[in-house]
Amino acid sequence: MAQPGDVIVLAPGTYEGNFVATASGTASSPITLCGPKDAVLQGGGVKDGYIVHLDGAEYWHLIGFTVTNGQKGVMADGTTGSVIENLTVSDTGDEAIHLRRFSTGNIVRGNTISNTGQRKPKFGEGIYIGTAESNWCDISDCQPDASDDNLIEGNLISGTTSEAVDIKEGTRGGTLRANSFDGATISAADSWVDVKGNDWLIEGNTGVNSPLDGFQTHEIGDGGYGSGNVFRGNTATVNGPGFGFSLTPVRDNVVECSNTVSAAAEGFANVECR
């Protein structure tokens, strides 16, 4: 079993199967799994489970390699202080990277994500944070899945069938920064980013080609979610029939005037910028 401070280096080649980590590192001595892009972790098909699963494993660094051909790419359950960085994640039945079950204080940075939703398009998100309220009793003991304070930064996301990034109700305090989205293949959603959590900063992202809106918020259930989010310095080339920013409802969300919107048939936003 891996120990804190271990570094596992993958040589180039294909490694078939589903890979589960249950041991934890520490903040000062994380466990590192790294390799070049041509080190490929390959699942058994788009209906075949999680290719990489951090199952209660904290303080892991996953760096550099390729994850492909599974139902889900990287699933993080109950992880803290982990870094998912510079991976290539493609050809998944559902979402590519998912942080859930109270996964907090993690970084998802610099990954290249494509060709999701090959099993069910409505589950084909690029990056998914938290858990839908309808699944809280299955995943988080009937409580909001407080997968809080996560940083999603510098990822390149295309070829998704659902949102590039889906931020679920119950999550708080995260940052979505400097990511790039191409929504040309979205068929089971209507925006690049859907924020249902609270107090997120959505900053410096760039998107092109959406079926409706660029960025959205929604209120789900009666828990007061979908509020207090700030959109700042994003560039939205929508090429679609909706808004750059659509807040439903508006609540305490803020769209700053530093955002740039073009080719959105309905205009900049359904609110005045600040």
Which residue's structure tokens are 């589950």? 123
For residue 38, pLDDT beyond 80: yes
Are residues 238 and 206 in contact, defined by beta-carbon separation less than 8 angstroms?
Answer: no
Distance CA 134, CA 42 (A): 30
Give the pLDDT score at 65: 99
pTM greater than 0.85 (yes/no)? yes
According to DSSP, residue 121 is labeled G
Rounded CA-CA distance 72/47 in Å is 8
Nearest to 210 by CA among 250, 245, 175, 174: 245
The full length of the chain comes to 274
Is the pLDDT assigned to residue 223 strictly greater than 80? Answer: no
Mean pLDDT of 50-72: 98
pLDDT confidence bin for 241, thresholds 50/70/90: very high
| Helices and strands counted in the chain (H then E) | 1, 30
pLDDT category at 93 given cuts 50, 70, 90 is: very high
Which pLDDT belongs to residue 228? 97
Task: Please state, for a pLDDT cut of 90, what percent of the chain lies above it.
Answer: 98
User: Cα(36)–Cα(192) distance, rounded to whole angstroms?
Assistant: 29
Identify the pLDDT of residue 207: 98
Give the Cα separation of 219 and 252 in Å (integer).
11
Q: To the nearest whole number, what is the mean pLDDT of the chain?
A: 97
**What is the C-alpha to C-alpha distance for residues 80 and 214, in angstroms, rounded to an integer?**
30
**Closest among 252, 259, 261, 192 to 224, alpha carbons compared:** 252
Q: How far apart are CA 144 and CA 168, in angstroms?
A: 10
pLDDT at residue 222 is higher than 80: no
pLDDT class of 112 with cuts at 50, 70, 90: very high
CA dist., res. 231 & res. 260, Å (int) = 11
What would the pLDDT profile of 189-215 be if each residue is shown by its tens digit?
A: 999 999 999 999 999 999 999 999 999
